[in-house]
């Protein structure tokens, strides 16, 4: 190094020590950041792993194959060609007869009751569905797979069994022996629980499903989107493009920002007071739930819309005005199409937040026990987060496993919505 350059190089011991300390501080800061990111990823992986391990059990269940003799006398049917008579028939009786025939040594009444409790109480409804689809089955022997009771399901999944003390488990020694005998004969098998996605809730965990909650969620989100998207986009366009800058618009902007931070349960109280008590709209309906969630999502849509509109360069507006376009034409033909990717991204993120909300829907009665799948916007319904809350609060262990399965389904919906927002932004966003 030349002598001229040496004059600008600090070679003192103090300067070298200060430089060394600065580099050490930077390395420590980088290490702290890596530790923080690694800890967050580890916790997230632990959470998702726990939910995945427990939740997949809800997608499969154990069934036992029985030869059910559909004797008209045992069914209580006089005319097998009468659909109403077949619908009212007692199908639980032949299921019990088929199970007893496998264990002829079970004779006492208490043992018979214990044996019957191994099979789900809804087994008769499954046989009923088969008969109503094909009435010619009456008078024949039907090979049908019926689900086991939730306690028997837990036994085959390894969560209860012989290793536990008899006083602490829900199955007796005799019931465990019967389950082992059914498995030894090859009558018990594990299969996909497709009913979990098609039927509504039930008092019996092995018969409960997410179908009603999924449909109710879709109805609720449709109402939310139809209300918050056009209103939010119109409000964002007015505030950003047409509203005069005065105290009134400043007051509106401040309140929109404040509403975005209001706890969601406040919107539930608003829905309870206005839409249910004052307007008299039906309780537990997706229409009311969608209105409440749209009020909660509207500030997010407006803020995201204004940011997207403001990101459009002023030169676009000036060029359009320069060729004779009116202010409305400038907004409709140039500004709005260019800002639409950002608006849609903000809307999808707001809808994803609405999908995971529970508190406002609890206030308007969507926590009710709903058995049937809703068939309209005014039908009683529940949503996925509320269904998870109900199952997690249930005393049955099998119901809690259903809650983990519902969490997985909800996570799939949330990831899909957020992923679509990212893809939409990357596909259509323009950088100026």
Torsion of CA 381, 357, 390, 119, to 10 degrees: 70
Residue scoring higher pLDDT (11 or 89): 89
Q: How confident is the model at residue 10 (pLDDT cuts 50, 70, 90)?
A: low
The C-alpha R_g of the chain, in whole angstroms, comes to 31
User: Residue 212's pLDDT band (boundaries 50, 70, 90)?
Assistant: very high
Query: Do 250 and 238 sit in the same domain of this protein?
Result: yes
Tokens of 267: 């919107």
Rounded to whole angstroms, the Cα distance separating 230 from 252 reads 18
Q: Does a structural domain hold residue 126?
A: yes
Token pair recorded at residue 346: 């903000």
Most confident residue range from 240-254, 295-309, 409-423: 295-309
Whole-model pTM?
Answer: 0.85
Tell whether 75 and 163 lie within a shared domain.
yes
- Whether 126 and 241 map to the same domain: the answer is no
pLDDT of residue 1: 46
Q: Does some domain include residue 330?
A: yes
Same-domain check for residues 324 and 177: no
Q: Is residue 224 part of a domain?
A: yes
Mean pLDDT value across the chain: 88
Q: For residues 131, 133, 136 and 142, what is the CA-based torsion angle, rounded to 10 degrees?
A: -50
DSSP bridge pairs for 60: 192
pLDDT-derived band of residue 426, with 50, 70 and 90 as boundaries?
A: confident
- Residue 146's SS3 state is strand
Band of pLDDT at residue 408, cut at 50, 70 and 90: very high
Average confidence (pLDDT) over 298-302: 93
Residues 72 and 120 in one domain: yes
Angle in degrees, CA 89, 94, 95, rounded to 5: 110
Distance, CA of 399 to CA of 397 (rounded, Å):
5
Both 25 and 81 in one domain: the answer is: no
The predicted-structure confidence for 313-342, as pLDDT tens digits, reads as follows: 999 888 998 898 888 899 989 999 889 888
Alpha-carbon 23 to chain mean position = 48
Confidence at 84, pLDDT banded by 50, 70, 90: confident
- Domain residues for the domain of 26 are 3-56
What span, in angstroms and rounded, lies between the C-alpha atoms of 153 and 155?
5
Closest listed residue to residue 237, CA positions, set 315, 319, 335? 335
């Amino acid at each position: 190094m030349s002598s001229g350059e040496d004059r600008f190089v600090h070679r003192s011991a103090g300067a070298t020590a200060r430089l060394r300390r600065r580099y050490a501080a930077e390395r420590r800061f980088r290490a702290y950041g890596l530790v923080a990111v690694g800890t967050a990823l580890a916790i997230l992986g632990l959470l998702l792993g726990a939910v995945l391990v427990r939740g997949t059990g809800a997608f499969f269940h154990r069934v036992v194959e029985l030869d059910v003799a559909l004797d008209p006398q045992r069914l209580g049917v006089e005319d097998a060609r009468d659909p109403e008579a077949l619908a009212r028939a007692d199908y639980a009786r032949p299921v019990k007869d088929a199970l007893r025939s496998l264990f002829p040594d079970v004779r006492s009444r208490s043992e018979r009751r214990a044996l019957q409790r191994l099979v789900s109480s809804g087994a008769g409804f499954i046989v009923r569905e088969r008969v109503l689809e094909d009435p010619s089955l009456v008078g024949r022997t039907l090979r049908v797979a019926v689900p086991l009771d939730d306690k028997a399901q837990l036994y085959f999944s390894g969560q209860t069994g012989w290793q536990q003390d008899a006083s602490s488990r829900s199955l007796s020694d005799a019931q465990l022996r019967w389950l082992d005998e059914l498995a030894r004969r090859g009558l018990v098998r594990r299969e996909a629980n497709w009913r979990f996605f098609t039927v509504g809730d039930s008092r019996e965990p092995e018969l409960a499903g997410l179908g009603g909650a999924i449909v109710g969620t879709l109805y609720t989100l449709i109402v939310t989107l139809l209300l918050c998207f056009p209103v939010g986009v119109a409000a964002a366009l007015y505030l950003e493009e047409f509203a005069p800058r005065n105290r009134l618009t400043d007051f509106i902007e401040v309140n929109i920002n404040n509403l975005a931070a209001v706890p969601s349960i406040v919107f539930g109280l608003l829905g309870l007071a206005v839409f249910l008590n004052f307007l008299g709209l039906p309780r537990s309906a997706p229409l009311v739930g969608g209105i409440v969630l749209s009020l909660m999502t509207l500030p997010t849509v407006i803020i995201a819309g204004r940011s997207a509109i403001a990101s459009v360069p002023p030169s676009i507006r000036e060029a359009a005005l320069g060729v004779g376009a009116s202010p409305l034409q400038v907004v409709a033909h140039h500004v709005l199409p260019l800002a639409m990717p950002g608006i849609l991204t903000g809307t999808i993120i707001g809808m994803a937040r609405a999908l995971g909300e529970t508190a406002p829907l609890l206030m308007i009665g969507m926590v009710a026990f709903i058995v049937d799948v809703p068939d309209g916007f005014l039908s009683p319904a529940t949503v996925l987060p509320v269904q998870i809350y109900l199952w997690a609060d249930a005393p049955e262990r099998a119901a809690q496993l259903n809650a983990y399965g519902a969490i997985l389904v909800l996570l799939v919906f949330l990831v899909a919505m957020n992923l679509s927002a990212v893809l939409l932004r990357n596909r259509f966003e323009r950088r100026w």
